[in-house]
Amino acid sequence: MFYREAGDFNTSYAEDQQTFPIKFDRYRYYVVLFIAIFVVPFIINDYWANSFLLPFLIYAIAAIGLNILVGYCGQVSLGTGGFMAVGAYACYKLMTAMPDVSMFIHVLLAGLITAAVGVLFGLPSLRIKGFYLAVATLAAQFFLVWLFNRVPWFYNYSASGQINAPERDTFGILITGPNTEAWATYMFCLIFTIASALVARNLTRGSVGRKWMAIRDMDIAAEIIGVNPLRAKLTAFAVSSFFIGISGALFFSIYLGAVEVGEVFGITKSFLVLFMIIIGGLGSIFGSFAGAAFLVLLPVLLKIVGVDWLGWPTDIVAHLQLVIVGGLIVVFLIAEPHGLAQLWRVAKEKLRLWPFPH
Amino acid sequence: MNATAESYTTEDGRTIGPVVMEMKNITLRFGGVEAIKDISFDIREGEIRAIIGPNGAGKSSMLNVISGFYVPQEGEVWYKGSRRPSMRPYQVAEQGIARTFQNIALFEGMSVLDNVMTGRLTHMNTGLFAQSFWKGKAEQEEIANREVAEKIIDFLEIQAIRKTPVSRLSYGLKKRVELARALAAEPSILLLDEPMAGMNVEEKEDMSRFILDVNDEFGTTIALIEHDMGVVMDLSDRVVVMDYGKKIGDGTPDDVRNNQDVIDAYLGVAHD
């Protein structure tokens, strides 16, 4: 009823392999893009940018990155916070060392540096799997946070031990520091989010993505059909860390502006991004967006309902949020391990035939 | 038997080429257990070569040696005229040797089409950077390989399920998809580990037909392990018989059928 594919024929392999092979999906995607680029920047205000849109866009990049590693390649990682910190500190060092270079370059370079660090910490994955690999990446998480706390060179010997984003512009528009406009920071993050999603989609639908999924589903069979496990796992770590580094750089420079590493990029950050992809859907780009939106919106909605409407104390609402997230993780792991993305897929299947299923 | 370097023609008119792979005095040990004891045999181009024997005879171990999964302690593997150095399995795959598994080893989280496309991975080499932009080299390569994969899908008559997740398929279809994945690599040697295990008569007939067709149409050399004697005797050009890690017979199905050692191994022999 709502969802028609009748008369929609793909006549070439190129058409069959596009991201949205069904016309209806394709147009909906164009509409969303159009609204995000041409409508939202004109109606955005500081509250919406800071409470929802910026964290959503930035977490979406981190979730895409982690999903490539965990959802597509099957290598469990708990080091997301640490890798985001690498991106943030790399961006900070680049911003202060080269003030005249565009922020675009800084963020991309921060991503590349994080990719290199990710490959380094991905090396144990060749020997260990599953639970043990998760513990090894946990070590990366604590080591990296410790490193940025203890080595003053990383925070330019500032007295507070914090890093603060100096004012930087790109193409003459101010995007970091305290005097930015909401639309400028939003557009800057949006460009990175869209580009990340496109690149991730292109990689996962081609031969690289199949190598990752082959390793995830059965590593022995993957090796027998010609997948070099070393190279496949390390490219997954590199690409994943690249995206996570970009999101860390944006999180620090655009969204927060000032960072104390243990507080912002601690183990809770790793778990938050992991929860996003579990709730959103492992092995799905759309799921990364859905999970990020869900976990960013949940506290906002709870605050509106609990504090503003019902008049509950703030700390009770904050605790309630932890209870809800914890409960949802358990429910999703048992009932729908493929997350919101799978629910969406099932809903689409049903809507194809609704209201006449026979 | 003919000299190893020459081709000959079988009774039904197929041309069997020169030796493409030769196993020389292979010995494989696991700790104190000798799984394979000093075995030598060869595989000729274009033939269907069967390896048979009772349970635990070392057949699967032999296949694992060929596909690079086990490294034998002694002996040499010669492939296309030169000695093969010790290799990882993915390097063996790059040399054009594909295989299926006794217990199905498909990628359960992927569709049938994606599984078959993984068979094409050794033919795809677009870099990470070109792939992240898709348009251009990556897309062209994908379409060119998709055409080959679709040909195999068509050949094995699994068009209708190409978008179905593998986890939803029946056992017989999974076996066929696994064969499709191995064939998609366009291998020069195809190794089949019990392709008909657990199938009913009808499915066995289908699978036998596919194996013969593959050999006939693509000229693929096939080495297979099978327990069903009727199938082996009908399909294969030459048979190696193993028992307790030793080779006890080698030759045409008729030779093997009349070999006293083979009869003893299969039917048992009175010890007095």
Chain A residues with CB under 8 Å of B93 CB are 223-226
Phi, psi dihedrals of residue A262, rounded to the nearest 5°: -65, -30
Chain A residues with CB under 8 Å of B107 CB are 213-214, 216-218, 221-222
- CB neighbourhood size of B29 (10 A): 14
Q: Quick one: CA torsion of B219, B220, B221, B222, rounded to 10 degrees?
A: -130
Q: Testing the interface with B: which of A70, A218, A224 to mutate, by most B Cβ within 10 A?
A: A224
Would an 8 Å CB–CB cutoff place A19 in contact with chain B? no
Share of chain B above pLDDT 70, in %: 97
Closest residue to B107, CB basis, from A17, A214, A235:
A214
Q: Give the residue among A114, A91, A102, A111 at the shortest CA–CA distance from A164.
A: A91
The average pLDDT across B51-67 equals 89
Q: Where are the alpha helices (DSSP H) in B21-136?
A: 59-66, 89-94, 112-118, 128-133
User: Would you state the pLDDT for residue A6?
Assistant: 64
The C-alpha of A72 sits at a distance from chain B's nearest C-alpha, in angstroms, of 10
Query: Is there a contact between A59 and A296 (Cβ–Cβ < 8 Å)?
Result: yes
Closest residue to A226, CB basis, from B90, B110, B126:
B90
Chain B residues with CB under 8 Å of A220 CB are 105
Q: Give the residue among B88, B50, B81, B75 at the shortest CA–CA distance from B191.
A: B50
Tens digits of residue pLDDT in B238-250: 999 988 888 888 8
Domain ranges of chain A: 44-264
Tens digits of residue pLDDT in A190-206: 999 999 999 999 999 88
Q: Do residue A13 and residue B138 have CB atoms under 8 angstroms apart? A: no
Would an 8 Å CB–CB cutoff place A224 in contact with chain B? yes
ipTM of this complex > 0.85? yes
Closest residue to A214, CB basis, from B94, B118, B141:
B118
Residue B29: strand, helix, or coil: strand
Tens digits of residue pLDDT in A77-125: 999 999 999 999 999 999 989 888 888 999 999 999 999 999 999 898 8
Closest residue to A216, CB basis, from B94, B98, B109:
B109
Peptide bond preceding A299 in cis form (omega within 30 of 0): no
The C-alpha of A207 sits at a distance from chain B's nearest C-alpha, in angstroms, of 7
Judged against a pLDDT cut of 60, whether residue A333 lies above it is answered with yes
Element (DSSP H or E) covering residue B51: strand B48-52
Tens digits of residue pLDDT in B79-104: 988 888 888 999 999 899 999 988 88
Would an 8 Å CB–CB cutoff place A214 in contact with chain B? yes
| Domains along chain B with CATH numbers | 8-96+187-267 (3.40.50.300), 112-180 (no CATH)
User: Would you state the pLDDT for residue A85?
Assistant: 95
- Which DSSP symbol is given to B84? P
The C-alpha of B221 sits at a distance from chain A's nearest C-alpha, in angstroms, of 17
Q: Do residue B122 and residue A283 have CB atoms under 8 angstroms apart? A: no
Q: What separation in angstroms does the CA of B176 have from each of A22, B149, B207? A: 29, 14, 8
Closest residue to A221, CB basis, from B105, B126, B142:
B105
Judged against a pLDDT cut of 50, whether residue B161 lies above it is answered with yes
Name the pLDDT band for A3 (thresholds 50, 70, 90): low
User: Would you state the pLDDT for residue A157?
Assistant: 87
- Which pair of tokens denotes residue A165? 């984003």
Tens digits of residue pLDDT in A125-136: 888 888 888 898
Which sign does the torsion angle of CA A195, A200, A205, A207 carry? Answer: positive
- Note the residue count of chain B: 272
Q: Do residue B105 and residue A220 have CB atoms under 8 angstroms apart? A: yes
pTM: 0.90
Q: Between residues 225 and 264 of chain A, which touch chain B (CB distance below 8 Å)?
A: 225-229, 235, 239
The average pLDDT across B249-256 equals 88
